[in-house]
Amino acid sequence: MYKKYCSDLASQSASQSGKSNTQEKMSDLPELWKKLSEGESKSLLKKHCTKEVYEKLKDKKSKLGGTLADCIRSGALNLNSGVGVYACDPEGYEVFKELLDPVIMDYHKVDKVEHPPCDFGPQDKLGFDPLDATGEFIVSTRVRVGRSHEGYPFPPVSTDEQRKDMENKTIAALNTLEGELKGKYYSLETMTPEENQQLIDDHFMFKNDDKMLGDAGGYNGWPKARGIFFNDNKTFLCWINEEDHLRFISMQKGGDVGEVYKRLVSAIKQLEKKLTFAYSKRHGYLTFCPTNLGTTLRASVHIKVPKLAKNEEVLNKICADNKLQPRGIHGEHTESVGGVYDISNKRRLGLTEYQAMQEMYNGIKEIIQAEKNAK
């Protein structure tokens, strides 16, 4: 299945040469709509893309050439999607708002699409007390944010040239980092398959095996203009042209959430002096997928909870009550291994960065307590 997907991907990107062709893509809209409207799906796309919404949006286009087809392609081709929608470009969030607003409100559980100004928390106490002082439960901690370059489209509309341009800009900015954050860029175009696999196995590097992202255009032109930057001890990383133009990541072994968070905030503050990110007052930072908007922040721990793992229903309930999302340890759509889960904050929009961190921190505290109490 995975091999077949990769070979489909190779022929697709060879034939496309990573160029967007809006005309051609416009023309697959009726077919996508047929699949979506006639198929069964529990996705937010199916729920909110009513006939009325479709009719209203079907002929609209963003300034960069994004269409409704670009927004719904993944969810129409993958009826098993949970969300199923991606934005064509930053402006797409307004052009296609009759679809995107209800999807955003539904996912982030808010009554209105609005977002507070960026706030990383009180300067003097960005730290958090140790979550797991004995190191019994937390294997590692990771906090990431997504960012998009202002003025550039998202993957289905981007050309190879635009991706290259964004890669060059980002490398130039990353190369100005100093001290602990200073590092080097490793291009996916020149990395050996062994180096790539090792980085994936160690949880640092992204893959290209997500069919939903692939169908959204996320792997167009792969592996061109993709790569990873990291510092010597791999505690600060930047993904270039994975799902988002940019993902800034801070991670380390153990449960020192404060140290991980402070490092990320310091990197963001330095990089935003060199780069301009797509931002809207209503949505916060704009990303390809509506699930990542706003703070774009996902703070996770890999946590060992063997007792709770025996009763996933209980674990899932604690997660839901605390607005947390459990994942497997090899990333989204993977399973837990040996009672270890990736657990993170679920909400990213409608709250500040600091509040998103607190949601994760307080929820994980409860999970540790529940594991201690479990038989």
Q: Is 238 a catalytic residue?
A: no
Sequence-distant (6+) residues with CB within 8 A of 313 are: none
- Can residue 327 be called a binding residue for ligand ADP (CB under 6 A)? yes
Nearer CB in complex with ligand ADP: 36/85: 85
Kindly name the residue from 167, 242, 243, 359 that is annotated as catalytic. Answer: 243
Produce one character per residue of 58-87: b if its CB has 16 or more CB atoms within 10 Å, e if not: eeebbebbbbbbbbbbbbbbbbebebbbbb
Closest approach of Cβ 217 to ligand ARG, in Å? 12
Produce one character per residue of 91-114: b if its CB has 16 or more CB atoms within 10 Å, e if not: bbbebbebbbbbbbbebbebeebe
Nearer CB in complex with ligand ADP: 29/44: 44
- Can residue 348 be called a binding residue for ligand ADP (CB under 6 A)? no
Nearer CB in complex with ligand ADP: 95/357: 357
Q: Indicate which of ligand ADP, ligand ARG, none lies near residue 82 (CB less than 5 to 8 Å, by partner kind).
A: ligand ARG
Beta strand 138-147 with 246-253 is: antiparallel
Closest approach of Cβ 311 to ligand ADP, in Å? 22
Nearer CB in complex with ligand ADP: 36/251: 251
In 58-156, alpha helices (H): 68-77, 92-95, 97-108
Q: Is residue 329 annotated as involved in ligand binding?
A: yes
- Can residue 374 be called a binding residue for ligand ADP (CB under 6 A)? no
- Can residue 183 be called a binding residue for ligand ARG (CB under 6 A)? no
Sequence-distant (6+) residues with CB within 8 A of 193 are: none
Closest approach of Cβ 260 to ligand ARG, in Å? 21
| Side chain identity at residue 165, one-letter code | D
Query: What is the rounded distance in angstroms from the CA atom of residue 203 to the CA atom of residue 180?
Result: 20
Q: Indicate which of ligand ADP, ligand ARG, none lies near residue 289 (CB less than 5 to 8 Å, by partner kind).
A: ligand ARG
Q: Is residue 332 annotated as involved in ligand binding?
A: yes
Q: Is 332 a catalytic residue?
A: yes
The per-residue DSSP string of 240-288 comes to ESSSSSEEEEEEEESS-HHHHHHHHHHHHHHHTTT--B-EETTTEE--S
Radius of gyration of the chain (CA): 20
- Can residue 302 be called a binding residue for ligand ADP (CB under 6 A)? yes
Q: Alpha carbon of 364 to those of 139, 168, 329: distances in Å?
A: 13, 38, 16
Q: Is 243 a catalytic residue?
A: yes
Q: Is 247 a catalytic residue?
A: yes
- Can residue 332 be called a binding residue for ligand ADP (CB under 6 A)? yes
Q: Is residue 203 annotated as involved in ligand binding?
A: yes
Q: Is residue 247 annotated as involved in ligand binding?
A: yes
- Can residue 201 be called a binding residue for ligand ADP (CB under 6 A)? no
User: Pick from 114, 189, 321, 332: which binds ligand ARG (CB under 6 A)?
Assistant: 332
Residue 216 β-bridge partners:
none
Kindly name the residue from 71, 88, 144, 167 that is annotated as catalytic. Answer: 144
Footprint of ligand ARG on 68-107 (CB under 6 A): 74, 81-84
Going 355 to 356 to 360 to 361, the CA torsion angle's sign is negative
Query: What is the rounded distance in angstroms from the CA atom of residue 115 to the CA atom of residue 4?
Result: 41
- Can residue 234 be called a binding residue for ligand ADP (CB under 6 A)? no
Residue 29 β-bridge partners:
none
Kindly name the residue from 67, 291, 295, 296 that is annotated as catalytic. Answer: 291
Per CB under 6 A, residues contacting ligand ARG are: 74, 81-84, 212, 243, 289, 291-292, 332
Residues forming contacts to ligand ADP in the complex (CB under 6 A) are 140-142, 144, 203, 251, 298, 300-302, 327, 329-332, 342
Q: Could you tell me which residues are annotated as the binding site for ATP?
A: 140-144, 203, 247, 298-302, 327-332
Active site residues: 144, 243, 247, 289, 291, 298, 327, 332
